[in-house]
Structure 1
Amino acid sequence: MMKEGPDIALLGTMIGDPARANMLIALMSGKALTASELANEAGIMPQTASSHLAKLEQAFMVKATKQGRHKYFTLKNNDVAHLLETMMGLAAQNGQLRTRTGPKDPALRHARACYSHLAGELAVFAYDQLIEKKYMEASENDDEAYLTAAGKDFFEAFGLNPASLQKPSKPLCKPCLDWSARRHHLAGDLGGALLDKILDLKWASREPSSRIIKFTKVGEQQFKDLFVKG
């Protein structure tokens, strides 16, 4: 019996239930969802979903916001999203996949929301370009990333001010292991600001009721040119 250190068994219990796991993954879209919507995602009754959500709240994995007659749920923070994405990557690496792939799978692998930031093939492409052009440097074990002076200039030219995004308690840049590509993409406050900017520019849009980020043909080319041409 573990008597010292963080209680990872509690987190394992929360994520280990299939219904709760499905609800958590649904919240990876970054959208606030009601208990009824999450019940539909998990394939369970709304009353059962409410019970599961109460447990997830107590475990600090989700948070609830009341608006009018409805209560909306989101992931507690980026750390929860990072944990889920890492676990999905480990499951994929070990071959622990669904027996059938759905029609949305290719689109999810190409570009999707990982809670507040962009994930998928395009996100991994951007991360690789940032490292290659020395706009960003990663630590030896790839658990931390740092923006260089050239990187700050790059993002400022794109209309993002890294200095204004920096928060003492949160990382500006954070490597996040992409479950589908099994390589890193950019998380942290800068990763979130980048996704918001892409959506503001209409290069892409969120697909309703999905984690998919759908790029226009022109938008995808502009996104790639941004990182290739610098």
Structure 2
Amino acid sequence: MDGDADVARAAGLMAEPARAKVLMALADGRALPASLLASEAGVSPQTVSAHLHKLLDGGLVTVERSGRHRYYKLAGPEVAAAVEALARIAKPQPITSLRQSTRAAALREARTCYDHLAGRLGVALLEGLVRRDALRRTDGGKGAERRPDDPLAQQLPDGPYALGPKAAEVFADLGVDLSAQPTRRPLLRFCVDWSEQRHHLAGQLGSAVTEAFLARGWLRRRRGQRAVDLTEPGREALAGLL
């Protein structure tokens, strides 16, 4: 029989600064090589290798092989949700350079949370979907506002939204065919955004929207970062659609 969850061990794995940076770098759902993770964490390749071994042993990351190379990723969206929750309650690190300031601002503006959009852009997307009747609030709330009893910065087990009367039309305009979405993953999931303290779209639909935006060139990833950029064509298209 299994005992209680070993919360202390998982928390200890996240508590080391370099490992925390590795987990933050992987929180967009991508698989990254150890060399890039070493640069992100500001440690040597040998040191990051030791940290990755501990994260693998603790079940927080997995590894994929491609030829001679290894690519690491989070073990699942629940790990990303835990990282986001800690980011919400943690005090911000002091900014000591313009580069740090620029990166922090970019993360607040638009980033990926595992495989869906977060930050101001993610919240604005959800606001627009509600405004266009693609989604509707089921609790009488407005837009993407967080409910008073919502847990901080984590996926909601009972997000107060449902597909609206114009869902098929609006999502098709965004490049997502609702009828073609796989059923192995919940279609609708929502998170409380740690930087905005409001809801953003997650789940299968959140992932599909993000992939569609990337494919259309409306979003552009930043190399080695969770931050993404809304391109000018994307800005114009979303302004018209949402």
- Please list, as runs of the form range in 1=range in 2, the aligned pairs for 1:178-193 lying within 5 A after superposition: 178-193=193-208
Matched to 1:66, the amino acid is: R
The residue number in structure 2 matching 1:167 is: 183
Which portions of structure 1, spanning 4 or more consecutive aligned residues, are displaced by more than 3 angstroms?
Answer: 131-134, 137-142, 156-159
The residue number in structure 2 matching 1:13 is: 12
Distance 2:55 2:186 in 1: 25
SS at match of 1:102: helix
Distance 1:163 1:5, change over 3 A: farther
- How far does residue 213 in structure 1 lie from its aligned partner after superposition? 1.2
- Structure 1: which 5+ runs fail to align? none
Contact 1:86 1:176 in 2 (8 A): no
Distance 1:47 1:139 in 2: 51
- How far does residue 148 in structure 1 lie from its aligned partner after superposition? 3.6
Distance 1:86 1:126, change over 3 A: same
- Please list, as runs of the form range in 1=range in 2, the aligned pairs for 1:151-162 lying within 5 A after superposition: 151-162=167-178
The residue number in structure 2 matching 1:219 is: 234
Contact 1:27 1:75 in 2 (8 A): yes
Contact 2:30 2:73 in 1 (8 A): yes
- How far does residue 4 in structure 1 lie from its aligned partner after superposition? 5.0
Matched to 1:20, the amino acid is: R
SS at match of 1:103: helix
The residue number in structure 2 matching 1:97 is: 92
**Of Structure 1 and Structure 2, which has the larger fraction of its residues in helix?**
1
Distance 1:48 1:129 in 2: 44
- Please list, as runs of the form range in 1=range in 2, the aligned pairs for 1:58-73 lying within 5 A after superposition: 58-73=57-72
Distance 1:167 1:7, change over 3 A: farther
For residues 104-130 of structure 1, what are the alpha-carbon distances to aligned partners after superposition, in whole Å with 9 as ceiling and x for unaligned?
222222212222111111110111232
Contact 2:133 2:165 in 1 (8 A): no
- Structure 2: which 5+ runs fail to align? 140-146, 151-155
Contact 1:198 1:204 in 2 (8 A): yes
- Please list, as runs of the form range in 1=range in 2, the aligned pairs for 1:80-159 lying within 5 A after superposition: 80-91=79-90, 96-100=91-95, 101-137=100-136, 143=156, 144=159, 145-159=161-175
Distance 1:20 1:224, change over 3 A: same
Contact 1:162 1:172 in 2 (8 A): no
Distance 1:193 1:110, change over 3 A: same
Distance 2:102 2:162 in 1: 37
- How far does residue 27 in structure 1 lie from its aligned partner after superposition? 1.0
The residue number in structure 1 matching 2:142 is: none
Matched to 2:175, the amino acid is: G
Contact 2:110 2:117 in 1 (8 A): yes
- How far does residue 132 in structure 1 lie from its aligned partner after superposition? 4.1
- How far does residue 134 in structure 1 lie from its aligned partner after superposition? 4.2
Distance 2:162 2:82 in 1: 20
Distance 2:32 2:40 in 1: 10
Distance 1:151 1:207 in 2: 30
Matched to 2:194, the amino acid is: W
Distance 1:36 1:139, change over 3 A: farther
SS at match of 2:79: helix
1:40 aligns with 2:39: yes
What is the percent sequence identity of the aligned residues?
A: 35
